[in-house]
Amino acid sequence: MRKKVTTEVDISSDELAKVFVHMGSDEQADFFNSIGKHFKSVGWDAEMQVCYISDDINKDGKDFIFTLANFIRAKGIDNPEKVNTLLHGYKCDDLRGG
């Protein structure tokens, strides 16, 4: 006999990160692709949210994102006309109205 059981589990960002680092590179890329896809479909200003996230990223997070971004840049951007130009024209404080 089988019975389907559903449960909720709280997972911290640190636990999620530990799962992430043990994924294969294809799974890690799919994770980022999914974040990008879902960020585009939210009902609030995702670019502003990224600005706020950047306020709370520490050196470890910055180092990882910087390294990833440099590899992406070195390999070329698939669709240059879709590159977010918001960052080139504004500072986070300007976006916040400060």
User: Quick check: is 20 in a domain?
Assistant: yes
- What are the pLDDT digits (tens) for 73-88? 887 766 555 555 545 5
- What are the pLDDT digits (tens) for 37-59? 888 788 777 778 888 899 999 99
User: Quick check: is 51 in a domain?
Assistant: yes
Q: Give the domain range for residue 75.
A: 13-96
Total domain count for the chain? 1
- Give the integer Cα–Cα distance in Å for 84 and 54: 15
User: Quick check: is 78 in a domain?
Assistant: yes
User: Quick check: is 30 in a domain?
Assistant: yes
pLDDT for the residue numbered 17 = 95
pLDDT for the residue numbered 84 = 57
User: Quick check: is 25 in a domain?
Assistant: yes
- Give the integer Cα–Cα distance in Å for 22 and 27: 10
User: Quick check: is 43 in a domain?
Assistant: yes
Outline where 1-98 has alpha helix (H): 13-21, 25-40, 46-56, 59-75, 86-89, 92-96
- What are the pLDDT digits (tens) for 9-45? 899 999 999 999 999 999 999 999 998 888 878 877 7
User: Quick check: is 7 in a domain?
Assistant: no
pTM: 0.68
User: Quick check: is 6 in a domain?
Assistant: no
- For residues 94, 33, 15, 69, the Cα torsion angle rounded to the nearest 10 degrees is -60
- Give the integer Cα–Cα distance in Å for 10 and 53: 21
